[in-house]
Structure 1
Amino acid sequence: MIVSNASLSGCAGVNSALCAGAGEGHLRGGSYRTTLTPTGNLVVAVCLGFIGTFGLMNNLLVLVLFCRYKMLRSPINLLLINISISDLLVCVLGTPFSFAASTQGRWLIGKGGCVWYGFANSLFGIVSLISLAVLSYERYSTMIEPTEADSSNYCKISLGITLTWVYSLIWTLPPLFGWSSYGPEGPGTTCSVDWTAKTANNISYIICLFVFCLIVPFLVIVFCYGKLLCAIRQVSGINASMSRKREQRVLFMVVIMVICYLLCWLPYGIMALLATFGPAGMVTPEASIIPSVLAKTSTVINPVIYVFMNKQFYRCFQALLRCEAPRRGSSIKSSSKVATKAIRGVAVTGPRRTNDFLFMVAYLGQPATTMPRLGPSFEATNDVTKAASSDNNQPVAVSLVAHFDG
């Protein structure tokens, strides 16, 4: 994970005896004690227990819904499943060990376990971050260039998922081979990259990690969702009174996504930079545990934002609870949609040229294969929502559908 941690050396002046004992225990490969008070350990353990339990439940439920309902097995939903799998692995292979360490007041699985924990959790955390960026780009590119063949989309999404894991491995394997290292962080109940070593080797790795695994994904997310909002606003401008509510809902979704991303990961990044470039002891172990816990909350938040606020997944969830077939709505044909109302009643007094976007869909999900493609030479002389009419002098009603994956 991209987290800011203060290694044990950062607690100099706070409790040097404990720090020294912890460092020696780690170097010997044995257990080492945390620098937190018993109350502090209890609070961290409660937080981690909550995060681990609900993160496990939420992500398992996502996988159950995906496996049970075929309508959810669309290309773009595979990206949501990839995010859930990476978050689930954090809950299974990471959180229990830090939880156990907090309850016992010491790291329990030695130096090798610490290195493994740091690598695994960094890998799964970066996979989740990059998947969020790929998801935003996929929504943006699908809206700009809707395609007709689902088979090609599956290939494209599968390639994107593969690249998220390869990209994450590129940035998490180097500490295993000498470019920086994995070790204890904060009060000693978790492990991650050694943020506090002041060597050129370590600093160069941390700068690259911060830029390519935190800043770049964030910029991609902001750019793509910003473009999507502009596109939806453009469509809404055709009949603002009919679509203002949808636009506000999409804006709310995007703002929530960005805020939660920053809330979970920005404190981690800031603490990492402070621990790396600040003076020794600037980031205390007590302070450094907070960003670590916040980053882990993403395993709980991601399924809620990206799946359960998604109408199609929510319908299937309701059907699972009621042991019945999912209710089919107007948005059931696409992978997932938050807004599915049509904008109707737009008068066009004469034939004019248009493009795929304005006269088809502002589509932020799976391609609408059942709707005709309109080329750049299409003349808007008939109603695309009704049967063709022989009277070309009558106003044309154009239907626009804006789909958005929550």
Structure 2
Amino acid sequence: MSSEAPGIGTWSYTVNMAFEIPIAVAAILGNLLVMFAVYKNRHLRSVTNSFIVSLAVADFLVGLVGIPFALITNANVSMDRYLCLFLNSFIVVLTQISIFSLLAIAVDRYFAVVSPLKYRRIANTKRALCVIAVTWVAAFAVGLVPVMGWHLEPDDNSCNFVTIIDMKYMVYFNFFGFVLPPLIIMLFIYIKIFNVVRQQIKQISKTVVAANDDEMARHLSMLTVKEGKAARALAIVIILFAICWLPVHFLNTISLFCKNLHIPYVLLLMAIILSHANSAMNPLIYAYSNREFRRTFKKIIASCAVCKYLKSKGWTLGLTTSMEFTEASVTALPVRNNVLNRTTLLIPTTPMITQKQNSSPNGIRAIENQTLVSMV
């Protein structure tokens, strides 16, 4: 990765777009789903999920603006120098937001497991929002350093990452200063968490044997296993982040210390695509590892896709589904009872879908083909 313009060819750029565009779409839709799920389901509005939403916003912005910015700069188009600096620096900002959010999640889980009583007393949404604000401000301060002056001076007006961003900044300041240390800290935090969970399980077993209380044993075991599963899922998020982002930083480091070694720009593009793909992975992890996220995702997708399709086919929902995902708010439907010659109320316990029919001469709509649709 030299200071010369990489000169990416048309074929390479086309392949790059073929990978980047689906990743961008997946990152946008998946992380929108995460944000919408936390907004609509009050059971997901926890302190930890506040940091997860912060991470989802950063990943959403990667798909919405980060990847388009990368495609623009890879095209070697001519533009203003400071605009070029901002486009290339903004993806660094989003990376730092992700790292700081993951670090905040790790610290949050550490105190939740190690000092659960103290954690429940001091952890609240207001403090979480303050931490999130600090992480975003710090990320912008770190990522926009090239705009403030630490950058290269290209020979022409063409805009490309390696011709305007100084690799000394990327390696010494960004990687060694604000990427690698947080990842190492998170590694030790999760090792500590898993050790504490293991010790707690052993202690619970001893307590149960001494007290001979099956109910207490079941309760304590459920709490410990729940925290352990949450920590394991979030550890997977961090591991995938490291797998996806370390290759591009390793290539930057090699290019800085081995100046005579030519690294093909196509290899760098592959590492960049892998780093961008990380933004589309986290929603899949949440859906796989968290039952509440999975259940909420299913309901949102069903309400957004199935219901619109049924509506386009002439079907209407017979009730309004509560977006709090706790129960369905039922709309009573007047149904003509031909036997008793009176109108009664049909109140289903699950969403009912009725097909529109022409009104009967006496003004009462006949409701036929009543179909119960499970929202689970």
TM-score (norm 1): 0.62
Residue of structure 1 in register with 2:193 after alignment: 228
Which of 41, 56, 69 is the equivalent residue of 2:28?
56
> Taking structure 1 as reference, are residues 251 and 88 closer, same or farther at Cα in structure 2, changes over 3 Å only?
closer
Specify the alignment match of 2:349 in structure 1: none
- Which residue is equivalent to 1:35? 7
Map of 1:262 onto structure 2: 242
* Corresponding residue of 2:109: 139
Residue matched to 1:316:
296
Deviation digits for residues 37-77 of structure 1 (CA, Å, limit 9, x no counterpart): 33322211111011101001101111211222222222221
Taking a change above 3 Å as real, the CA distance of residues 278 and 114 of structure 1, as seen in their structure-2 partners, is same
Of Structure 1 and Structure 2, the greater helix share is in 2
Match of 1:207 in 2: 172
Partner deviation per Cα, 1:260-316 (whole Å, 9 max, x = no partner): 122111101101111112114522212211211111112111232246632222221
TM-score normalized by structure 2? 0.66
Percent identity (aligned) = 20
Contact 2:190–2:235 at 8 Å: present in 1 too? no
The alpha-carbon distance between structure 1 residues 130 and 252, as it changes in their structure 2 partners (threshold 3 A), is closer
Instruction: Report what 1:113 is aligned to.
Output: 83
Contact 1:76 1:135 in 2 (8 A): yes
1:122 alignment counterpart? 92
Distance in 2 (CA, whole Å) between partners of 1:8 and 1:94 is: 22
Are the structure 2 counterparts of residues 223 and 95 from structure 1 closer, same or farther at C-alpha, using a change threshold of 3 Å? same
User: How many angstroms apart in 2 are the aligned matches of 1:110 and 1:271?
Assistant: 27
Does structure 2 conserve the Cα–Cα contact (< 8 Å) formed by 1:87 and 1:299? yes
The CA RMSD measured in Å over matched residues stands at 3.6
Q: Which residue of 2 aligns with 1:96?
A: 68
Which residue of structure 1 lines up, in the alignment, with residue 313 of structure 2?
Answer: none
Q: Give, in angstroms, the shift of residue 135 of structure 1.
A: 0.5
Kept in 2: contact 1:180–1:205 (CA 8 A) = no
Per-residue CA deviations over 1:154-208 (Å, capped at 9, x if unaligned) read 2321222122112212312322222345989xx9765797244xxxxxx367312
Match for 1:194: what amino acid?
I
- Quickly say closer, same or farther: Cα 1:182–1:121, change in 2 above 3 A: farther
In structure 1, C-alpha distance between the alignment counterparts of 2:175 and 2:7, rounded to whole Å? 27
- For residues 87-106 of structure 1, what are the alpha-carbon distances to aligned partners after superposition, in whole Å with 9 as ceiling and x for unaligned? 1112111212334566xx54
Aligned length: 291
For 1:49, what is the secondary structure of its paired residue?
Answer: helix
Answer yes or no: is the 8 Å Cα contact 1:8–1:285 preserved in 2: no
Cα 1:204/1:87, change in 2 over 3 Å: closer
Cα 1:54–1:191, aligned 2, differ >3 Å: closer, same or farther?
farther
Aligned partners of 2:152 and 2:165 also within 8 Å: yes
Instruction: Look up the match of 2:142.
Output: 171
1-structure distance, mates of 2:163, 2:103: 23
Pairing of 1:354-393 with structure 2 (within 5 A): none
Query: 1:109 Cα shift?
Result: 4.9
> Which structure carries more relative contact order (alpha carbon 8 Å, separation 6+)?
1
Q: CA deviation at 1:127?
A: 0.5
Which consecutive segments of 4 or more residues in structure 1 shift more than 4 A?
148-152, 181-184, 187-193, 242-252, 322-328
Change (3 A) 1:138 1:151: closer
1:297 partner SS: helix
Q: Structure 2 vs 1, CA of residues 63 and 249 (structure 1 numbering), >3 Å: closer, same or farther?
A: closer
Output aligned runs, 1:296-307, within 5 Å: 296-306=276-286
Counterpart Cα distance in 1 of 2:301 and 2:153: 43
Q: Does 1:156 align with 2:127?
A: yes
1:46 and 2:18 correspond: yes
AA aligned opposite 2:300: L
Contact residue 118 and residue 192 of structure 1 kept, 8 A: no
**Partners of 2:102 and 2:238 within 8 A in 1:** no
CA, structure 1 residues 124+7, in 2 after alignment: closer, same or farther (shift >3 Å)? farther
Contact 2:233/2:286 (CA < 8 Å) preserved in 1?
no
Distance in 2 of aligned mates of 1:168 and 1:154: 21
* Pair 277,176 (structure 1): closer, same or farther in 2 beyond 3 Å: same
Q: Tell me the amino acid that sits aligned with residue 311 of structure 1.
A: R
For 2:115, give the aligned amino acid. Answer: E
- Given that 1:122 and 1:192 are in contact with CA atoms closer than 8 Å, whether structure 2 keeps it comes out as no
The structure number with the bigger radius of gyration is: 2
Counterpart of 2:281 in 1: which secondary structure?
helix
The 3-state SS of whatever aligns with 1:36 is: coil
CA distance in 2, matches of 1:158, 1:314: 25
Residue 219 of structure 1, CA deviation:
1.2
User: Which whole-Å CA distance do the structure 2 matches of 1:183 and 1:165 have between them?
Assistant: 30
